Amino acid sequence: MTGAQVLLKGLLQEGVEIIFGFPGGAVIPIYDELFKQSEIRHVLSRHEQGAAFMASGYARASGKVGVAMATSGPGATNLVTGIADAYMDSIPIVCLTGQVPRLMIGRDSFQEADTTGITMPIVKHNYLVYDEYELPIIVREAFHLARTGRPGPVLIDIPKDVSTAEIDLNRVKRRELRGYHPVYEGSEEYLDRAADLINDAQRPLLYIGGGVIASGAHEEVRQLAEAGNIPVAWTLMGKGAFPESHPLAVGMLGMHGAAYANYAITSCDVMIALGVRFDDRVTGRLETFAPEAKVIHVDIDPAELGKNRTPLVPIQGDVKQVVTQLLPLIEHRPRMAWHEQIAQWKAAYPLRIKGEEDGRLKPQHVIQALNEITKGKAIVTTSVGQHQMWAAQFYRVEEPRRFLTSGGLGAMGFGFPAAIGAKFARPEEEVWCITGDGSFQMNLQEMAVAVLHKLPIRIVLINNGYLGMVRQWQQLFHEARYAETYLGGVPDFARLAEAYGAAGRRVEKVEEIIPALEWAQEFTDRPVLLDFRVAQEENVFPMVPAGGDTGRPLLEEPGAE
């Protein structure tokens, strides 16, 4: 078999059903073999970054490993943002890149780039295949690494002559991965200590993140919360890991989290941190983050234990396995005073829309209406900016893998291609993309993919004419000097969608929101874009300024509290 044939055989053995990619000279042999077969589907993106985000959306929605492919040089470098996004959010993807022939490596050959060197800081592992007989082993290892332990991206860089080389499979040797043995079960000693802390706590709080979703531990976490009568708060990446309608649900923490969630974590006496990394967007200034809390931290990656906050009880292990071990040790406690305090904060500091009576179309109105018509059951993707935070605040999710967003990297342009990947992963589900006029223009070319494949993705475009989150910071902290954040020269997005063959509609009044969303739901054979012309200088509140105290969020513009 040729290297390209061996590669495809390996992908099939790993259960790959779809590849998102863009061809070029160094991967022509691989694409030639793809053309000859029908078991693996290929989706042609219109930009390699789009392919990486599609693979990420596929992985986030399905829990499977997403696959993206690009050629050498610029093809590979265009994948970098998507790879970094997957690395920051611990998303399992495998990226296949072409490389110039082995004898031409290091000679500044046409479309040559040091892909493994460039991506080394943003992958879980990467490979440059110098020996064609290593290829089948590498494919197997790559998928194993991507999906086990703390998930993440793995890259395989394949020189063109490796793709065309003849390989005698009888000569392929097996090998074991040395030094890679993730720990899944928690230490009994530390589990006992954690249980004692939880059972004795007056004000415990579960602080959960993306690791809960990655490990499939949402049901176990719900059982833990109910067993101990423990309130639950979550990070942006943990949204969906706990039902938002549950009586023990507190809300999202952090920079734009609910004020009552931040007050709760500031006041808790025992913090049970599950699958989180104490990100700066959650903690603000570390010295003032939950200052009285005794911390129990569970994570499968030992590098996260003590990295930002030193736990009293560090437990290395898979969240699902550790919580399963912990459950029999937890005793039910009433903790009435603690629950009453949280209820008082919720009543006093609700998420609200300032100035609703002025009649202007607000982004929050749109998100609330979307939540109403979908009942929170749709898969929602977002790009990055103000719309992302409004979506996190006002779109209520009951299940995991239904809110997909770029968390750690904060990559604009993520939402729409991720929605395409999610729709391919779960075609029976309703998929909505919430994006901004700045983010959408970064990857709007992928509209061609959605139209070509007749994907009924519904796009909610929050159009305020600005790079909204940067403008908000400029307004609040730089005396409203809006340096290069006004987006002049934007197209008529609804007409642009129609030019691609999608459906489009502009919405400018509050009373038009529900009819427009229901209209979008009528289309089943093409994407739909709704261009919501919202108030231009609406801000996202609450807000904890970078490096600020999470116990003292800004509830509105400084001086207006």
Do the Cβ atoms of 146 and 65 come closer than 8 Å?
yes
pLDDT of 359: 75
**Coil/strand/helix, residue 460:** strand
Helical residues (DSSP H) of 123-176, grouped into ranges: 135-147, 160-164
Q: What residues have CB less than 8 Å from 277, skipping those under 6 apart?
A: 209, 299, 304, 307, 308
β-pairing verdict for 204-208 and 232-234: parallel
Do the Cβ atoms of 424 and 67 come closer than 8 Å?
no
Instruction: Report how far apart, in Å, the C-alpha atoms of 451 and of each of 38, 62, 425 are.
Output: 22, 22, 17
Burial class from Cβ neighbours inside 10 Å (0-12, 13-18, 19+) for residue 467 reads: buried
- Tell me which DSSP letter residue 304 carries: G
Do the Cβ atoms of 27 and 69 come closer than 8 Å?
yes
Sheet arrangement for strand 528-533: 403-404, 379-382, 431-436, 458-463, 528-533, 503-507
Q: What residues have CB less than 8 Å from 302, skipping those under 6 apart?
A: 183, 316
Bridge partners, residue 460, by sequence: 434, 530
pLDDT of 178: 84
CATH number for 188-348: choose from 3.40.50.1220, 3.50.50.60, 3.40.350.10, 2.70.170.10. Answer: 3.40.50.1220
Q: Could you tell me the two tokens for 389?
A: 């935070």
Q: What is the CATH number of domain 3-171?
A: 3.40.50.970
- Tell me which DSSP letter residue 229 carries: T
Q: How far apart are CA 179 and CA 69, in angstroms?
A: 28
Q: How far apart are CA 157 and CA 137, in angstroms?
A: 14
Q: Is the fold of 3-171 the same as that of 356-533?
A: yes
Bridge partners, residue 97, by sequence: 70, 157
pLDDT of 561: 42
Q: Could you tell me the two tokens for 47?
A: 């930009």
Q: How far apart are CA 126 and CA 120, in angstroms?
A: 7
**Coil/strand/helix, residue 404:** strand
Q: How far apart are CA 178 and CA 416, in angstroms?
A: 39
Q: Could you tell me the two tokens for 547?
A: 């490096």
Which mean pLDDT values do the consecutive 10-residue runs of the chain (561 residues) have? Answer: 97 98 98 97 98 98 98 98 98 98 97 98 98 96 97 98 95 84 96 98 98 98 98 98 98 97 97 97 95 97 96 98 98 97 97 78 96 96 98 97 98 98 98 98 98 98 97 96 95 98 97 97 98 95 93 78 42
pLDDT of 356: 67
Bridge partners, residue 69, by sequence: 21, 96
- Tell me which DSSP letter residue 431 carries: E
Do the Cβ atoms of 204 and 270 come closer than 8 Å?
yes
Q: What residues have CB less than 8 Å from 307, skipping those under 6 apart?
A: 277, 278
Q: How far apart are CA 373 and CA 506, in angstroms?
A: 19
β-pairing verdict for 458-463 and 431-436: parallel
- Scanning the structure block, which residue is given the tokens 């709760």? 264
DSSP 34-95: HHH-SSSEEEE-SSHHHHHHHHHHHHHHHSSPEEEEE-STHHHHTTHHHHHHHHHHT--EEE
DSSP 374-386: HTT-SEEEE-SSH
**Coil/strand/helix, residue 127:** strand
Active site residue ranges: 48, 110-111, 160, 469
Span between the terminal Cα atoms of the chain, in Å: 70
pLDDT of 353: 87
Q: How far apart are CA 207 and CA 212, in angstroms?
A: 10
Q: Could you tell me the two tokens for 256?
A: 């734009």
Do the Cβ atoms of 258 and 389 come closer than 8 Å?
no
Among residues 414, 458, 460, 396, the alpha carbon closest in space to that of 434 is found at: 460
Look up the CATH architecture of domain 356-533.
3-Layer(aba) Sandwich (3.40)
Bridge partners, residue 382, by sequence: 434
Q: How far apart are CA 263 and CA 260, in angstroms?
A: 5
Q: How far apart are CA 449 and CA 48, in angstroms?
A: 13
Write down the domain spans for the chain.
3-171, 188-348, 356-533
DSSP 179-205: T-----SPPHHHHHHHHHHHHH-SSEE
pLDDT of 334: 95
Q: What residues have CB less than 8 Å from 527, skipping those under 6 apart?
A: 447, 450, 451, 455, 456, 457, 458, 459, 497, 502, 503
